[in-house]
Amino acid sequence: MTEKEYDEPLLKPEPHTTGVDISTKRKPPKNLPDAMIKGLRPKQWVKNVLVLSAPLAAGEFTGRTLIDVVLAFIVFCLGASSIYLVNDALDVESDREHPTKRFRPIASGMLPIKLAFGMAAILIALALGLSFLATDGPALALVIGIYIALQLGYCFGWKHIPVIDIALVSSGFMLRTMAGGVAASIALSQWFLLVAAFGSLFMASGKRYAEMLLAQKTGAKIRKALEGYTATYLRFVWTLSATAVVMSYALWGFQLSNDTDGPAAIWYQISMVPFVIAILRYAAEVDGGKGGAPDEIALEDRVLQLLALAWILCIVMAVYVIPAVA
């Protein structure tokens, strides 16, 4: 047998985002330590790089800011993993009936439910405690506290309520984008908040749309909340949010360009090109039913990665390089 048959690769899609895949043989965790690690879902931590957004956009990347961003990243990794543990513990019975989710650490019986809840409590305490080490510790603690509270509500039943579930998933992306700036006590502009809000809604609604397409195609029962949606409605939401995020970023870019003298202004305008193309590229993924796992698209789509690098280059030129040499 091949290695693939014995263990899941690190970036294997989550069952709830890619449907029921029974073609790949899966196995439960080998032992308790393995179960404890897999229960944290470390591959999902890639979402937390969004904490870089606010400091990068504001051009305030000092040594202390970098420390605050790292703290925000760690805090959200801890908070998110606590939610994964609680969610899996609450869904243990249904997961055991699922052809692939039954191999998850808790559903497989390798990670006891009481231990999972204990781990979650410790992670929440660590997340809240570490928050106070940031420049604006109370503010970061408030952000991660709101995140944990909303996601616990999601776990305890709100995920079954149409529209509310999208709002909660969207809030998770939104709070991540705010966290880095909040931790470093960086003022968040109105345009940044609009881009973050509609960008988060775009990814969340695209995620649900991809799941619906998959459910219609395979007949798999992905999640209960999908019963309250139609494909037309979800297309409307992610089309609306895509339009709003592009317009908000364009207006923000033109405002920054008008407020900036010299060559740096041009780079703000140029940054719109990779940004808009990236939105269109991601929209194509969503329309093809591949938007169920935004983190996996970001890790696997080389075109999106190049567009992201191009956008970062434009921002670095506008915010850091040009002002430094001018």
pLDDT digits over 68-98, tens only? 999 999 999 999 999 999 999 998 887 787 6
Question: In this predicted structure, which of 82-86, 120-124, 269-273, 300-304 has the lowest mean pLDDT?
Answer: 300-304
Amino acid at 182: V
What's 98's DSSP letter? S
pLDDT digits over 4-24, tens only? 443 443 334 333 343 434 444
**275 close to 249: Cβ distance less than 8 angstroms:** yes
For residue 107 the two structure tokens come to: 């559903």
Amino acid at 33: P
d(CA 131, CA 185): 13
d(CA 294, CA 279): 12
Give CA separation, 215 vs 145, 162, 167, 211, in Å: 34, 16, 21, 6
**126 close to 78: Cβ distance less than 8 angstroms:** yes
Work out the angle between the directed axes of helices 63-90 and 137-155 (0-180°, nearest 10).
Answer: 20
